[in-house]
Amino acid sequence: MNINVTLLWQMAFFVIFVWFTKKFVWSPIIGVINERKTTIADGLAAAEKGQKAEEEGRQAAEQFVADAKAQAAEIISKAEKTGQELVEEAKFKARTEGDRIVESARDEIQTELNKARESLRGQVGELAVEGARKILGREIDAKAHADLLNQLSAKL
Amino acid sequence: MTSGYYIQHHLTNLTFGPMEKGWGFAHSAEDIAEMGFWAMHVDSLFWSFALGALFVWFFSRVAKKVTAGVPGTTQGFVEMIINFVDENVSSSFSAKNDTIAPLALTIFCWIFLMNLMDLVPVDLIPWLLSKIGIEYQKVVPSTDPNVTFGMSLSVFALMVYYSVKNKGAGGFAAELTMHPFESKNIVMKILFIPINFFLEFVGLIAKPVSHSLRLFGNMYAGEMIFILISLMYGSSIILSMSGGALQFVWAVFHILVITLQAFIFMVLTIVYMDMAHSHH
C-alpha cells in the first residue's frame, strides 16, 4: 500500500469532474426535470380545475332543467285553472243568458196573453152587448152602460 | 510461475516515476521503492480518468440535448440516476448548496464505474496489454488506496472548507474543543479543551480514513478473491470447473457489492457535507 503522487492526481481529477458535472450535467438536466415537474403539476391542476368546472356546469344544468320543469308544471296548472275558470264562467254566462231569454220569452208570452186576454175581454164585452141587444131588441147605449159592461168584462 | 508470483504480479501497479537512471516505468519492487513519493500509478490514473471521462461524456451528451418534453430512453436513464441522487441529497442534506448534488452524482457514477472494472475478468486486460509490452496492469482503480484516499481527502477538504465558511473559523474550532464535555465554569471549560480536542480530532480524522478504507477494503478483497479463483484454473479439471462456477457466483454477488459501495461512499459524502452546514 504505497501512498504517493497518484493521490494528488486523483484529487485533481476529482475536482475537474465534479466541476464539469456541476456545470454541464447537473444544472441543465435538473433544470429540465424541474421544468417538467412544473408542467405536470400545472397540467394536473388544470385537469382538476376542468373537472370541477364540469361538475359545476353539470349541476347548473341540472338546476336549470329542474327549474324549467317546475315552471312548466306551474304554467300547466295555471292554464288548467284558467281554463276551468273560463268554462265555469262560460257556463254561468250561458245559464244566465238562457234564464234571461226564458224570462223575456215568458214576459213576452205574458204580454201576448194579457193582450189576447184584453182583446178577448173587449170582444166578449162586445159580444155580450150584442147578445143583450139582440135579446132586449133594442140598442143599448153603450155609453150609458159602460159601467155595467166594464164590470162584466172584468169578471171575464 | 508460482501462485505467489501470480498474485504479487496482479497486485503491482504500472508505476512511473524518477529513478537513478532517469524517469521511467518501474520493473521491480526496488524500482518502486526508489521512486518514493513521486511514483505514479499510471494504470490507476488512466482507468480512473477514462472512467470519469466516460461518465461526464455520456451525461453531458444527454444534457446538451435534454428536453423538458417527452424524454428519450437515454435521457430517461440519465434522469432516473439524477432523480435517485437528488432524492438522497434532499433527504440527508438540509442546507442549501448547489454543489452537493453534482458532487454526489459524480461520486456515485464514477465510483460505480471504477468498481465495475472488477467484473472484467482479472487476467483479460493485463494479458492483452502484456502482448504490447506493458508489464503490470491493475484495472480497478478503487483497489488503489491512492484513488480512494484521493477522493475521501477531497471530500474532507470540502467538508473543512464548508465548515469554516458556514460556522467561521471560531465556530469550527469551538465544535472541535467545546464538545463532548461541557461546563459553565470558565476554568473547567479551558481544562476540557485538550480532552475535547483529542476526542473530536480523532473523530474528525477517522472520517476520511474510514470513508476511503471502506471502499478500498471491499474492492481490494473482492479483487483478491477473483485472483484466488483464477488461480484454480491452472490445476485439475475439477478445480477449473468449480473455479468457473465460483467466479460466476462471486461476480453476481459483486454486482451488489460494487453498487452498494458506490452508494455508501455517496451517502457518507452527503452526510459529511450536511455536518459541515448544520449548526448545533
| H/E stretch holding A29 | helix A27-136
Q: Does A26 touch chain B (CB under 8 A)?
A: yes
For the four alpha carbons of B177, B179, B184 and B185, in that order, the dihedral sign comes to: negative
Identify the domain containing residue B68 by its residue range. 3-277
Q: What pLDDT does residue B33 have?
A: 84
Strands (E), chain B: 15-19, 22-25, 40-41
DSSP B232: G
Task: Return the residue matching grid coordinates 521503492.
Answer: B33
A94-139 pLDDT, tens digit each: 999 999 999 999 999 999 999 888 888 888 888 887 887 787 766 5
Q: What pLDDT does residue A140 have?
A: 59
Beta bridge partners of B19: B22
Q: What pLDDT does residue B224 have?
A: 92
CA A25 – CA A18 distance, rounded (Å): 10
Length of chain A: 156
All residues of chain B having their beta carbon less than 8 Å from the beta carbon of residue A43 are: none
Across the interface, do A18 and B106 touch by the CB < 8 Å criterion?
A: yes
Residues 6+ apart with CB under 8 A from A109: none
CA A147 – CA A127 distance, rounded (Å): 16
Q: Does A7 touch chain B (CB under 8 A)?
A: yes
The 3-state DSSP class for residue B22 equals strand
Task: Return the residue matching grid coordinates 461512499.
Answer: B265
CA B274 – CA B280 distance, rounded (Å): 12
Q: What pLDDT does residue A58 have?
A: 96
| H/E stretch holding B205 | helix B186-231
The count of structural domains within chain B is: 1
Across the interface, do B150 and A33 touch by the CB < 8 Å criterion?
A: no
The 3-state DSSP class for residue B26 equals coil
Query: Which of A11, A15, A16, A18 is the best mutation test for B, with the most CBs of B within 10 A?
Result: A18
The total of other beta-carbon atoms located within 10 Å of residue B252's CB is 10
- CA atoms within a 13 Å half-sphere pointing along the CA-CB vector of B212: 24
Q: Does B29 touch chain A (CB under 8 A)?
A: no
Catalytic-role residue among B210, B240, B242, B278: B210
pLDDT in single tens digits along all 280 residues of chain B: 688 888 888 888 888 988 888 888 888 888 888 888 889 999 999 999 999 999 999 999 999 988 888 888 999 999 999 999 999 999 999 888 999 999 999 999 999 999 999 999 888 899 899 898 888 889 999 999 999 999 999 999 999 999 999 988 888 888 888 877 887 888 888 888 888 889 989 999 999 999 999 999 999 999 999 999 988 887 788 888 888 899 999 999 999 999 999 999 999 999 999 999 987 5
pLDDT means per 10 residues, chain A with 156 residues, are 87 95 92 92 96 96 96 96 95 94 92 88 82 72 70 71
The 3-state DSSP class for residue B39 equals coil
CA B48 – CA B60 distance, rounded (Å): 18
Q: Is B210 a catalytic residue?
A: yes
Kindly report the backbone phi and psi dihedral angles of residue B24, in degrees, each rounded to the nearest multiple of 5, phi listed first: 175, 180
Residues 6+ apart with CB under 8 A from B125: B137, B139
Domain ranges of chain A: 6-155
CA distance B82 to chain A (A): 8
Report the residue from A18, A29, A35 with minimal CB separation from B82: A29
B4-24 pLDDT, tens digit each: 888 888 888 888 988 888 888
Across the interface, do B68 and A26 touch by the CB < 8 Å criterion?
A: no
DSSP B180: S
The 3-state DSSP class for residue B97 equals coil
CA B130 – CA B144 distance, rounded (Å): 20
